[in-house]
Structure 1
Amino acid sequence: MPGRNSKLPERSLNQQSLADFKVGVDNVIFSVDTAQNRLLVLLVMRQQQPFINSWSLPGTLVRQGESLEDAAYRIMSEKIRVNNLYLEQLYTFGGPKRDPREDCDSYGVRYLSVSYFALVRFEEAELIADGVTGIAWYPVKDVPLLAFDHNEILTYGHRRLKNKLEYSPVAFDVLPDMFTLNDLYQLYTTVLGENFSDYSNFRSRLLKLGFLSDTGVKVSRGAGRPASLYRFDADAFAPFKNKPLVFI
């Protein structure tokens, strides 16, 4: 066992140089098509090397003087028009060789990806196709092999989205101001899977929690009985913040 004053091996900067980084932002933009019960992610077709003509997450390199969040919002605004969205930083992906351009750069530049994930209202989201030959919503379960490590980023984002539904009111950021309990249930089942809770238990537990207020307005959809429209009460939800919801 080394003595107390033993020195650990040291490497000088000449032996192991510091990495030089370029920083990019990649967005995992989710939406829920409740009409067809599909969780969707926005993909774009790359127009340049590397991975030309491959699907990828919308991304960009960060510009001089630009914050990471500003870059994330910029790439969102270039691909999609939407009024209501939920956006937060996801994770930093920076493993060696995650980007083929590292091998082409004589200076050994590494490419970091600071990823963000967003959740937007499907009915209100307008895709921007100006100068883009490929941009589309893809069902998450049918996503092809993506450029770079974007399948890994997508998987991480999907896991975060599921976790957010368990302890945050993120679902209400993308629902209309007034919604039925079935609208809410369809959103949860689309993201979490149909086995997370049956509707009767979901409805009973949710109403007992007390953070939904009945507007007194009813809406008719199909041949069934009119359904009540509810609003989300943020103040009433405060005691449940950061706590797993029991009906999940």
Structure 2
Amino acid sequence: MPGRTQKKLVDSAPQRILADFKVGVDNVIFSVDTDQNRLLVLLVMRHEEPCIGQWSLPGTLVRQGESLEDAAYRVLSEKIRVENLYLEQLYTFGGPDRDPREASTSYGVRYLSVSHFALVRYVEAELIADGVSGIAWYPMHQVPKLAFDHNQILEYGYRRLRNKLEYSPVAFEVLPELFTLNDLYQLYTTVLGDNFSDYSNFRSRLLKLGFLQDTGVKVSRGAGRPATLYRFDANAFAPFKDKPLVFI
């Protein structure tokens, strides 16, 4: 009978123990060294188990009564002093066995990481070494094997950064208030690679969009012709804010 068959299936199902979770945040903090055209990520060396002595992303467990965003900002404030930054939630990583501490508990405590993506101005950033064995900016192509699943989190953050550059004005978060078009182009090539676009097409595309304000001021760098300084105009950009705009 249908009713008995259903009851038998339910009764034979194994008992499932609900997972007990601890929640942390891990911040992928990027910056661009525009002088040397390097994309950098901030790493800290762990000073306690698990993974003591390994480089990792700056992170913390969320405190009681603390929001995820507040925890992410707390990590930033404990590791770096900077006036201007961009921060957004990235992704939640919660696969089994992503943290060695899960195996040391008899009740199977799971460790979730709600990762965040941050972008800061390199010349303004002051690193704070309190409470860590080491802290450093690492060029993306020199990042070592990181603790936990932080290489995976970093790769996810790098993809987000590339997408952000193509579809949002996030680049202006790390440029000075006044910049040349070549400054902007160099930032894009540093993150996206030299072959993403030639300078002529990049310049034409950006100027047509109309949210770069010509200041009328020119600056001389090297032997070339003086270059015009521009300013990002947030009001002129407002009509594009919720549109699938492609900058490049």
Q: TM-score, with normalisation over the residues of structure 2?
A: 0.93
Is the contact made by 1:201 and 1:247 (CA closer than 8 Å) also made in structure 2? no
4+ runs deviating over 6 angstroms = 3-6, 11-14
> For the residues of structure 2 that align with 1:213 and 1:132, how far apart are their CA atoms?
43
> For the residues of structure 2 that align with 1:21 and 1:176, how far apart are their CA atoms?
42
Structure with more of its chain in helix, by fraction: 2
Quote the offset at 1:219 in angstroms: 1.3
Matched positions, count: 246
Which residue matches 2:211?
Answer: 211
Q: Residue 5 and residue 168 in structure 1: after superposition, are their counterparts in 2 closer, same or farther (change >3 A)?
A: farther
> For the residues of structure 2 that align with 1:113 and 1:79, how far apart are their CA atoms?
18
Counterpart AA for 1:182: N
The 5 Å alignment of 1:186-225 reads: 186-225=186-225
Q: Residue 5 and residue 82 in structure 1: after superposition, are their counterparts in 2 closer, same or farther (change >3 A)?
A: farther
2:154 equivalent to 1:154: yes
Q: Residue 206 and residue 108 in structure 1: after superposition, are their counterparts in 2 closer, same or farther (change >3 A)?
A: same
Quote the offset at 1:133 in angstroms: 2.6
> For the residues of structure 1 that align with 2:220 and 2:25, how far apart are their CA atoms?
43
Is the contact made by 1:89 and 1:114 (CA closer than 8 Å) also made in structure 2? yes
Is the contact made by 1:56 and 1:146 (CA closer than 8 Å) also made in structure 2? yes
Q: Residue 5 and residue 12 in structure 1: after superposition, are their counterparts in 2 closer, same or farther (change >3 A)?
A: closer
Gaps of 5+ in 2: none
Is the contact made by 1:167 and 1:241 (CA closer than 8 Å) also made in structure 2? no
Q: Residue 13 and residue 78 in structure 1: after superposition, are their counterparts in 2 closer, same or farther (change >3 A)?
A: farther
Counterpart AA for 1:183: D
**1:5-32 deviation digits (Å, cap 9, x = unpaired):** 9749447998101110000000000000
Mean alpha-carbon deviation: is it higher for 228-237 or for 53-62? Answer: 228-237
Which residue matches 2:132?
Answer: 132
Quote the offset at 1:224 in angstroms: 1.4
Mean alpha-carbon deviation: is it higher for 196-205 or for 233-242? Answer: 233-242
Counterpart AA for 1:171: A
> For the residues of structure 2 that align with 1:155 and 1:139, how far apart are their CA atoms?
13
> For the residues of structure 1 that align with 2:10 and 2:182, how far apart are their CA atoms?
63
Q: TM-score, with normalisation over the residues of structure 1?
A: 0.93
> For the residues of structure 1 that align with 2:4 and 2:57, how far apart are their CA atoms?
51
Which residue matches 1:78?
Answer: 78
Is the contact made by 1:26 and 1:115 (CA closer than 8 Å) also made in structure 2? yes
**Aligned-CA RMSD value:** 2.1
> For the residues of structure 1 that align with 2:208 and 2:4, how far apart are their CA atoms?
64
Which residue matches 1:45?
Answer: 45
Is the contact made by 2:46 and 2:133 (CA closer than 8 Å) also made in structure 1? no
